[in-house]
Amino acid sequence: MPREFSVWESPAAPRPAAPSAWVLCWREEPVETLLLAGVLAGLAWAPFWLGGDRPFAWGVNGIWFPALALAYEISVLARGKKHPVGVRRVAAPAGLFLIAVLWIGVQTSTFIPPAAAHPIWKLASNVLGVHLKGVISVNPQASALALMRLLTESLLLWLTIQLCRAPRRAILLIETIVAIVAAYSAYGLVLSAFYRADIPFFDAPDAGRLVRSTFVNRNNFATYAGLGLIAATALILRFFRREALAIEGRRSYRLSQLLEATGRRGWPLVAASLVILAALLGTLSRGGVLATIFGLFALFALTFARQSHRSQQIETILFVTSALLGGFLLFGDRIVGRIAEAGLTDESRMAVYAIIMHSLRDSPLLGFGYGAFADVFPMYRDQSISPLGVWDMAHNSYLEVLQGLGLIFGAALISALMLLVWKCLRGAVTRRAGATAAIVAASAALLVGAHAMVDFSLQIEAVALTFMALLGAGVAQSESSRQVFSD
């Protein structure tokens, strides 16, 4: 079987030049390759406008990615083809997601029994002296906007599941995401070093030289950089694993050959991972760094869990771990000092979590409206937190979803995502070959899932869209490409 060529590798001198991954993908499926290029262009744009955390960015993303998904569906019909991954393969998560989406529609509808409407609408009617139709959501406009963003991310997920059923396109997507994250990381380091982390052409709060790239919040950028680092590390492991299988002899000889291969063909990946690691540590985000460590631990564990060639895997993992530790020793002194000084907990956030759980008692089933946290929280805010500052995010995505949708429908949305992650996790362990995309998706899910417990990075579109693309590739590659899953 011919060796698969990677866009990150340049062939050695004796080896004949091979077509690039893009050329090979174009020869196989030109329409799918063109759409994949569109997806990657959208992912490259997503962080530019303050991490995608502004209405203008939401609008652009809300047009671009659904348009790509629509173009794909039209092309499938026009060519008389089938979906590479049929809906029945993701029926359970798709059903749970649809239930949550329909409930958001109910929350913003005026065609509900008056008793189901939130009491704030009756109070507003009495104060204004005007009859207002009541709805479940405290802020139906915010709920509609949040629904648009949710649909944008879900359509990207569906599109990448279809486009990345081909193994070469899945690897190409992961490689390009690494390149994009590395570019934004390098830009963030430059801004931190020469511009006090100010973002040219944008008005953003002062970051005090901490690395945040184009993001408003350094913690959100830490999650974004962590996704890139996990993807880059997985590709490095894949590269070294393939090199190690072709090398025989003493361990010292194999190590020298790995070093030589790194210098010849693997250096772009190593360089990208070190740039991303430096930017990640420069954020001084305790939650982001620790969540990334969890994700990397999962990555190594899933790689080692595979049954074949464990001796080479151990050598490869030790080699990559040594490189990561070296980078941490070079750039990690400030984050270690911050953790030692500030600890790992935040009293204000713990108080906010307690307030949210208290609010759940008032509307455990109906919820307060998806995406309406900023309007709900002031109703319950008490003296357990400082009166200064505005809490427009819960800093815990799980609690915010449960508060917005209610316990049943919030759990349905969370469970839909967890089922897809479980599919990737199972594929990462059981697949004999081609498991890189599933391993990356499962490890990235642990990263964002852990950080979502203490922050709101998943509610930033650049992070959410990048994660959805990785998850889609992982779902598509969670089972052997020899099996047919088309509808």
CB 62 within 8 A of CB 152: yes
Per-residue pLDDT reduced to its tens digit, 419-457:
999 999 999 988 877 899 999 999 999 999 999 998 999
Within 13 Å of residue 111, how many CA atoms lie on the same side as its CB?
A: 3
Q: How many Cβ atoms are within 10 Å of 247's Cβ, its own excluded? A: 16
Residue-level pLDDT at 308 = 54
Distance CA 339, CA 417 (A): 31
pLDDT class of 329 with cuts at 50, 70, 90: low
284: left (phi over 0), alpha (psi -120 to 50) or beta: left
Per-residue pLDDT reduced to its tens digit, 357-385:
999 999 999 999 999 999 999 999 988 88
pLDDT class of 3 with cuts at 50, 70, 90: very low
Q: What's the DSSP call for residue 480?
A: -
CB 413 within 8 A of CB 100: yes
Per-residue pLDDT reduced to its tens digit, 286-316:
889 989 999 998 998 888 776 555 555 565 6
Sign of CA dihedral 350, 354, 359, 360: positive
The answer to whether residue 229 scores a pLDDT higher than 50 is yes
The answer to whether residue 5 scores a pLDDT higher than 50 is no
Distance CA 215, CA 213 (A): 6
275: left (phi over 0), alpha (psi -120 to 50) or beta: alpha
Question: What does residue 287 show for φ and ψ, rounded to 5 degrees?
Answer: -65, -40
Per-residue pLDDT reduced to its tens digit, 389-400:
788 888 999 999
Q: Give residues with Cβ within 8 angstroms of 168, minimum separation 6.
A: 4, 21, 24, 25, 28
Residue-level pLDDT at 2 = 43
Distance CA 431, CA 307 (A): 10
CB 34 within 8 A of CB 41: no
The answer to whether residue 27 scores a pLDDT higher than 60 is yes
Number of H helices, E strands in the chain: 19, 0
More confident position, 282 or 480: 282
| Amino acid residing at 485 | F
CA-nearest of 217, 182, 174 to 199 is 217
Residue-level pLDDT at 335 = 57
Per-residue pLDDT reduced to its tens digit, 180-194:
999 999 999 999 989
Highest mean pLDDT among 9-13, 44-48, 193-197: 44-48
Burial of 73-82, coded b for 16+ CB within 10 Å and e otherwise, reads eeebeeeeee
Q: Give residues with Cβ within 8 angstroms of 9, minimum separation 6.
A: 239, 265, 266, 268
Distance CA 69, CA 61 (A): 12
Q: Give residues with Cβ within 8 angstroms of 102, minimum separation 6.
A: none
Among 182-191, 258-267, 462-471, the range scoring the smallest mean pLDDT is 258-267
Q: Which helix (H) or strand (E) holds 296?
A: helix 286-304
Distance CA 139, CA 372 (A): 6
CB 198 within 8 A of CB 216: no
CB 193 within 8 A of CB 60: no
More confident position, 408 or 265: 408
Distance CA 445, CA 164 (A): 18
Question: What does residue 206 show for φ and ψ, rounded to 5 degrees?
Answer: -65, 135
Per-residue pLDDT reduced to its tens digit, 90-132:
999 999 999 999 999 999 999 999 899 999 998 988 888 888 8
Among 184-198, 409-423, 460-474, the range scoring the smallest mean pLDDT is 184-198
Distance CA 61, CA 142 (A): 17
Residue-level pLDDT at 320 = 64
Q: How many Cβ atoms are within 10 Å of 353's Cβ, its own excluded? A: 17
Average pLDDT of the chain to the nearest whole number: 86
What percent of the chain shows pLDDT beyond 70?
Answer: 81
In the structure encoding, which two tokens stand for residue 335, read together? 């984050």
